[in-house]
């Protein structure tokens, strides 16, 4: 039963009662130049912090959000527990288009379909602006992220290689594998069906939620936790999970993940992207992950001579939440090494 709560919570983001999340803060960036050449008008980035920034402003750890996730959720799931806030200044940051930072759902100047395409690089560039221009932080101790947060981590270490000492990607990727591309294109196709006609959004989001639930765990996990008689309950959980996010926000983040490829800035050469990395890198993958296949991250890890933790349990993409405490301690320990 131990994973039902996380899965439900992850998918029912809006219903989580996260009493322990620190207050939301907002960095107003003004107009933001995007990779596409378009301008994101009146961009702002929201975040929540824990711990204390030290005198030389050198102990900040940036923790960007996963797909559909919020900084509030990072605390609710105790993902942030990986970072010792007695030592580090934790900045849990909302990725663009997550409904908290600038998003199709909250932009007054470019709402809904008028919101420009944002990439993983745009998310990271906005975070870089927030850190340097607003928070006066010129260097991070570390970047750590899970899933799409891990994708942002790979972008950070290749786009701003000298900006951090350490980096941890957990079930993330420098780019998606072919299977993942098909998976997320399928979810996008379901959303675009309703995005274009501005109709049946609830039903399309239900399909997206079901697809997420299907992708983030394994058949073995479902067989153990959801015997046949609980199928209706399982299906309802999937449908409800989709309802937790605005359709345009969800589609925007899907497009970001689909376009993500850190080798793009290196002429398509992943070897060169990996060679550019300066930070100590820890790559955590799940061998049974069918939401973000482990291979691209493992290949990058080898190219970059990174540390690797390969999780092997039947929780798939959710493997961190099924891993023993020792695994979390190993990740935390990596961040604390001198």
Footprint of its own copies on this chain (CB under 8 A)?
Answer: 175, 177-183, 185-186, 189-190, 192-194, 197, 199-200, 203-204, 206-207, 210-211, 213-214, 218-219, 222-223, 226-228, 230-231, 234-235, 238-239, 261, 290, 293, 295
Q: Could you tell me the smallest distance in angstroms from the CB atom of residue 316 to its own copies? A: 11
Q: Could you tell me the smallest distance in angstroms from the CB atom of residue 175 to its own copies? A: 7
192 phi and psi, to 5 degrees? -65, -30
Q: Could you tell me the smallest distance in angstroms from the CB atom of residue 144 to its own copies? A: 26
Question: Would you list the DSSP string of 54-81?
Answer: -TTS--EEEEEPPTT--HHHHHHTTGGG
Q: Could you tell me the smallest distance in angstroms from the CB atom of residue 147 to its own copies? A: 16
User: Smaller CB distance to its own copies: residue 12 or 18?
Assistant: 12
Nearest to 146 by CA among 81, 205, 218, 85: 81
Q: Could you tell me the smallest distance in angstroms from the CB atom of residue 2 to its own copies? A: 17
CB within 8 Å of 31: residues ≥ 6 apart: 39, 40, 41, 42, 43
Q: Could you tell me the smallest distance in angstroms from the CB atom of residue 227 to its own copies? A: 7
User: Smaller CB distance to its own copies: residue 197 or 329?
Assistant: 197
User: Smaller CB distance to its own copies: residue 104 or 174?
Assistant: 174
Query: Chain-centre distance of CA 33, in angstroms?
Result: 22
Partners of 231 in the β-ladder: none
**Distance between CA atoms of residues 110 and 126, nearest Å:** 17
User: Smaller CB distance to its own copies: residue 130 or 204?
Assistant: 204
Distances (CA, A) of 134 to 28, 44, 265: 8, 11, 26
User: Smaller CB distance to its own copies: residue 68 or 293?
Assistant: 293
Neighbours of 278 (CB within 10 A): 14
Nearest to 249 by CA among 148, 108, 106: 106
User: Smaller CB distance to its own copies: residue 97 or 211?
Assistant: 211
Q: Confirm if 295 and 177 have CB atoms less than 8 A apart.
A: yes
Q: Could you tell me the smallest distance in angstroms from the CB atom of residue 221 to its own copies? A: 9
User: Smaller CB distance to its own copies: residue 29 or 274?
Assistant: 274
């Amino acid at each position: 039963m131990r994973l039902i709560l996380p899965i439900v919570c992850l998918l029912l983001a809006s219903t989580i009662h996260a009493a322990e999340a620190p207050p939301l803060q907002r960095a107003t960036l003004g107009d933001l130049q995007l990779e596409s050449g378009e301008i994101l008008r009146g961009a702002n980035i929201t975040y929540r912090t824990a711990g204390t920034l030290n005198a030389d402003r050198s102990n900040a750890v940036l923790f960007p959000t996963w797909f559909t996730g919020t900084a509030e959720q990072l605390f609710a799931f105790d993902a942030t527990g990986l970072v010792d806030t007695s030592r580090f200044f934790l900045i849990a940051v909302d990725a663009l288009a997550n409904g908290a930072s600038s998003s199709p759902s909250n932009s007054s100047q470019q709402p809904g379909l008028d919101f420009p395409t944002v990439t993983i690089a745009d998310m990271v560039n906005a975070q870089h602006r927030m850190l340097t221009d607003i928070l006066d932080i010129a260097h991070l101790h570390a970047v750590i992220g899970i899933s799409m947060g891990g994708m942002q981590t790979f972008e950070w270490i290749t786009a701003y290689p000298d900006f951090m000492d350490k980096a941890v990607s957990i079930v993330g990727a420098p780019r998606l594998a072919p299977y993942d591309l098909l998976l997320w294109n399928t979810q996008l196709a379901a959303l675009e069906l309703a995005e274009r006609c501005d109709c049946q959004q609830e039903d399309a989001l239900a399909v997206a939620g079901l697809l997420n639930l299907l992708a983030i765990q394994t058949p073995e996990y479902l067989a153990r936790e959801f015997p046949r008689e609980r199928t209706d309950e399982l299906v309802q959980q999937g449908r409800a999970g989709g309802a937790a996010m605005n359709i345009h926000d969800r589609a925007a983040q899907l497009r970001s993940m689909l376009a993500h490829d850190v080798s793009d800035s290196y002429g398509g050469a992943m070897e060169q992207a990996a060679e550019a990395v300066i930070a100590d890198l820890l790559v955590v993958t799940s061998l049974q992950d069918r939401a973000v296949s482990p291979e691209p991250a493992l290949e990058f890890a080898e190219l970059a001579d990174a540390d690797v933790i390969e999780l092997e349990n039947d929780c798939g993409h959710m493997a961190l939440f099924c891993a023993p405490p020792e695994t979390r301690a190993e990740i935390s320990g990596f961040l604390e090494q001198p």
